[in-house]
Structure 1
């Protein structure tokens, strides 16, 4: 059986597919006039760039990293703490703690630029669900911040 079809997805499509299985997850996307490498350099720099983009992240420390897995210790502006664990690949990241979900992806956009997709929020313990309040608003703020960071570095 060597004639099985093979599905090819980019990072943004993968994030959309996984988020579709999480009740309350809202994927927010924007095309930015920057390369995937430049966008991902900011988003995957968890201790610096990531904290500039994510509205609620005051401080993030990489606790462990092994190839495609990472564990982060995060502190919010409100003093809450989370140990986020997940997968990080070029252009793709899915992180979860017991009470938090953060996912982001970046892929080249046909015609130029980079499509960035974000989702996340407060998780409902024991379920594939997040509390939908403020998810889209926070993602829009994150995308605005990302665009400003990229503009200031060019």
Structure 2
């Protein structure tokens, strides 16, 4: 049996979460450059996600880490992070966000997913998808590509 690659795995997760934000794009830069941006959560996440002002990850070498996010309003929240080659999943009690990438013929196939965790927030997620989801994902990919090109 073949294992799912990270992008396919994130696609399955997004479907299960009924994520209001999920998109995939091919970026014409090498995987190593693109993933260097994604994996630098402290340095890059505030540039990639407009509502994140700060993201601090506890030191350590393991794939499972604790982190603390500060949003643009100053609200703080703990996150559990799983970070490995081509895979990043961040979860708080309210939010799940994932990013995945695989090499793609000299470029990179990149996916991003975002969802609210409480089921009661389903109507909010559907509204968000209609109003902002596509615009936010386009901005995310544009900024990843811009920042990766600088590396």
Same fold (TM > 0.5): yes
Q: Secondary structure at the match of 1:24?
A: coil
Q: State the Cα deviation string for residues 89-143 of structure 1 (Å, max 9, x = none).
A: 101011110111110001011x320011001133325899982413332222111
- In 2, the alpha carbon distance for the partners of 1:130 and 1:96 equals 18
Number of the residue aligned with 1:113:
107
Is it true that 1:9 corresponds to 2:1 in the alignment?
Answer: no
Distance 1:27 1:128, change over 3 A: same
1:37 to 32, 40, 45: 32
Per the normalisation by structure 1, the TM-score is: 0.83
Unaligned runs of 5+ in 1: 1-5
Distance 1:68 1:128, change over 3 A: farther
Per the normalisation by structure 2, the TM-score is: 0.85
2:140 to 139, 142, 146: 142
Higher CA-based Rg? 1
Unaligned runs of 5+ in 2: none
Paired residues of 2:19 and 2:114 also in contact (CA < 8 A)? no
Q: How many residues align?
A: 147
Q: State the Cα deviation string for residues 53-87 of structure 1 (Å, max 9, x = none).
A: 22221111113545211211011112222211132
Higher normalized contact order (CA 8 Å, seq sep 6+, divided by chain length)? 2
- Cα root mean square deviation, aligned: 2.3
Distance 1:67 1:22, change over 3 A: same
